[in-house]
Amino acid sequence: MRIITWNINSVRARLHLAEQLIEEAKPDILCLQEIKCTNDQFPAKAFEEAGYPFQAVRGFKAYHGVATLSKFPLSDPYTLMHSTIDDGRHIAANAEIPQAGSVAIDNYYIPAGGDIPDREQNDKFGHKLDFIDAMTNHFTDKKGEDKRILVGDLNIAPLENDVWSHKQVSKVVSHTPIEVEVFTKLQHALPWVDAMRQIIPASEKLYSWWSYRARDWRASNRGRRLDHVWITENLSPKLKAIKVLDHVRDWEKTSDHAPVQADFEL
């Protein structure tokens, strides 16, 4: 079973790139973030024709929005509200996988949090921290026999080697100590296993996002690991491979995020 998560930064502007990714990587499940459209505007038919008849979409006008596309049936889709602010940042559904049973798929787009890492000066930063607290509450005491995968643009790079310079990026929203603290607490709530780091050791640099603003993103390589694949402990022995598809970051007019691909033998 192959799952890919990708912050596509507008599904309508980059539908052809999603189709290219599908053709090349053939994921069983594709989770998109920042689709930047309403459910009505979502190109459902194109994805159906590409082989993904099962779709769970949480769209929103102009901003954020998430979609889970699957070759396998998706049952009981739902979206959680993590604050009083209306948004499109979560869609969950159970993927019914032949011979392997049900796997719960949570697709998240955590708020970016603005520029100033201080909730007194920046409401967006407070919203980000509160959103993560709400997620933590949701997943606390959910431990059980269920197989679960949580993917998405979580907008935090927790480890030193998840950023190009731990020292310099520690002052930048996405890698500040307070964010890493709430993020780690969320991770321990279930607990979740960081699938990317199960395969690629924490001693190695690993990024999934590179700013549009660099002249040459690969040469400067000032990346951050903002996109994640988390799994329950019962899936950990079934995880076989992880890859950041960084060549996609070279495609013409691509997203600033690269897709992350995970392969399981269920």
**Contact residues for DNA, defined by CB under 7 A:** 9-10, 12-14, 34, 36-37, 61-64, 111-114, 124, 155, 212-213, 253
Q: Report the C-alpha gap between 140 and 131 in whole angstroms.
A: 14
Taking the least distance from each CB to DNA, the nearer of 54 and 60 is 60
Identify which of residues 42 and 72 has a Cβ nearer to DNA in the complex. 42
Question: Min. distance of Cβ 204 from DNA in angstroms?
Answer: 25
Q: Which is nearer to DNA, 27 or 88 (CB)?
A: 88
Structure tokens at 51: 């082989």
- Give whichever of 43 and 51 is closer to DNA, judged by the CB atom: 43
Separation between Cα atoms, residue 87 and residue 63, nearest integer Å: 8
What is the maximal distance between C-alpha atoms in the chain? 52
Strand pairing report for 239-244 and 66-70: unpaired
Query: What is the closest distance, in whole angstroms, from the C-beta atom of residue 86 to DNA in the complex?
Result: 13
Q: Nearest approach, Cβ of 209 to DNA (angstroms)?
A: 9
* Cα–Cα–Cα angle for 60, 61, 66, rounded to 5 degrees: 30
CB atoms within 10 A of CB 63: 13
* Residue carrying structure tokens 């390589």: 221
Beta carbon of residue 70, minimum distance to DNA (angstroms, whole number): 23
